[in-house]
Amino acid sequence: MSLVLVADDEPAVLEVLSQVVEDLGHDVLRARDGEEAFGLARAKRPQLVVTDHMMPRLSGLELCRRLRGDELLKDVPVILLSAVLPQGAPEASAFLHKPFEITDFEAVIRQKLAHLPEPRLLSESPPVEALGHWVAQTLQGPLAAAREHLQRLQAASAVDRQAVEALGAQLRSMEFVSRSLQEAARLAAGSVTLQCVAEDLLPHLRRAVEAWQAQEPQVAIHLTVPEGPVGLHFDPERMRQVFDGLLANAVHYGKGRGAVRVELLAAHALVTVRVRDEGPGFTEQELPRLFAPFQARPDDGGTGLGLYIASELARLHGGALSAESLPAKGCTLSLLLPRG
């Protein structure tokens, strides 16, 4: 019997694939996006990973690359499923083009599990990381059931639509809390590795700003950037998390209180991203704890982890976050990243 991780963002497909693997006599871990799959892989060390390609937060191909770049997971075979990639990818051990026959799926599962590499001697996950994964895994079942019931309500004709929308928002909030806790636990345990590339930082920042502007149209977000490209060595996925943490803070505290201003500055040795809001600001006592975990304000409604995660990811890039604020005069968060 082996442990197989199956990742797919379509609940029905995830259930079918998982059932096939279980019918073959193996244990199954279920993940609904690539980021969740990678976290489960780090925590549980599966013998095989099956992943769809088109998934939110982290695609199947990106998941393959992250697994290959992880010292503890690089030997785990990955079966990639896709309707858009005609030939698969070299990072995957096997590939099935959708739609495929269940018999073909069973055959490739048997083949990969029959030729497993020798198990590596791995140390246990640090307690803090194990706790984060345990919480996320424990919540997975109730959240999946809640999603299923919500889908039934959404399909019903006679239902309070406002109540259904509120339930959906609360469910998304719980899923976000689960992901944030898991990510914070991995950062605290030192288990996060970057997949850096040399790229222009500007379009990544622009996409983050555009996404937040579309999500919160009532808040004006102004972006100021240099004329030319801003080359930097960074992990695009992780840098987006940093941008999201800074923008979430500014949008939340600046909502109804003025515009959010984002500025990208590029010098020879340093790149700076400043995010300024016109909200109530932070007191002198609050500022030193701003980047510590679990520092949500009583009226925040957030996890208290966003700026901690952003700060730790900035640190992994060799940079740092800083804050300037006065009560009733807004807050400016600055991301400092070294070049070269």
145 burial via Cβ count (<10 Å: 0-12, 13-18, 19+): exposed
3-114 and 197-338 share one CATH topology?
no
- Topology (CATH level 3) of domain 197-338: Heat Shock Protein 90 (3.30.565)
Across 14-152, the runs of DSSP E, i.e. the strands, are 27-31, 48-52, 78-82, 94-97
Q: Where are the chain's structural domains?
A: 3-114, 127-188, 197-338
Query: Given this model, what pLDDT does residue 119 score?
Result: 45
CA-to-CA distance for 9 and 152, rounded, in angstroms?
Answer: 17
- What DSSP designation does 222 have? E
Cis peptide bond upstream of 86, omega within 30: no
Mean pLDDT, consecutive 10-residue segments, the chain of 340 residues? Answer: 87 89 88 83 85 85 85 85 79 86 89 67 51 64 74 81 80 75 79 88 95 91 94 93 92 78 94 92 81 65 76 92 86 89
The dihedral region occupied by 330, where left means phi > 0, alpha psi between -120 and 50, and beta the remainder, is left
Query: Given this model, what pLDDT does residue 181 score?
Result: 77
Contact indicator for 294, 304 with CB cutoff of 8 Å = yes
Residue type, 304: G
**Domain 3-114: assigned CATH number:** 3.40.50.2300
Query: Given this model, what pLDDT does residue 131 score?
Result: 62
CA-to-CA distance for 209 and 201, rounded, in angstroms?
Answer: 13
Nearest to 241 by CA among 58, 68, 69, 59: 58
284-287 contact pairs (CB < 8 A, 24+): 287/323, 287/325
Count of helices and strands (H, E) across the chain: 9, 12
Query: Given this model, what pLDDT does residue 123 score?
Result: 45
CA-to-CA distance for 151 and 340, rounded, in angstroms?
Answer: 49
